[in-house]
Amino acid sequence: MGKFVRLANGNDAEILVALNEEFNGVGMTASEVKESLTKNNELVALAILDHIPVGFACAQWFQSFCYRSSQGEITEMYVQDAARQLGLATMLISFLEQELSSRGVTSIKILTGPNNRAAHKTYERSSYVLKDEMIFQKKLNSD
């Protein structure tokens, strides 16, 4: 069974649309995905199993005067059900850590729901430590 992770590119737009639809049903278009892949501080990693894309993860990084080094966040992670428990999520995390590190990031955070036990175990296996933080969110009108 061949499995690996690589950065996604514009040629992967159609598969990213399909995977993202499975993940969260947002309904992006291929042209929106292509544009997103080229215009921001986001990395999109694609998990491949036996030559078939089966998952992805996204990460972002930023610099602030508040910190001496760049900060990173793994923002999304999805692996199709049939490809789970094969180590792909851990491979995605490791790949993004290396990519973020090469961009000067020294600290990475991951946010997930409190009941997502499978994700918690994956992050703990990758040496992430649970922090006790509260998240506040406000949606702004986009008229």
pLDDT tens column, 3-12: 999 999 999 9
State if pTM tops 0.85. yes
Per-domain residue ranges of the chain: 3-125
In angstroms, how far is the first alpha carbon of the chain from the final one? Answer: 48
The DSSP H or E segment spanning 60 is strand 52-62
Over 90: is that where the pLDDT of 82 sits? yes
SS3 80: coil
How far, in Å, are 2, 96, 111, 122, 123 from residue 116 at the CA level?
A: 27, 21, 11, 10, 11
Q: Torsion angle, CA of 11/15/17/21, rounded to 10 degrees?
A: -170
Give the CA distances from residue 142 to residues 32, 62, 139, in Å, rounded to whole numbers and listed in that order: 18, 24, 9
Q: Which of 77, 85, 7 is nearest to 48 (CA)?
A: 7
Contact call for residues 93 and 122 (beta carbons, < 8 A): yes
The fourth-level CATH superfamily of domain 3-125 is: Gcn5-related N-acetyltransferase (GNAT) (3.40.630.30)
pLDDT of the residue at 143: 60
Residue 44: CB atoms within 10 Å: 19
Structure tokens that stand for 8 in this block: 């996604």
pLDDT value at 98 more than 70: yes
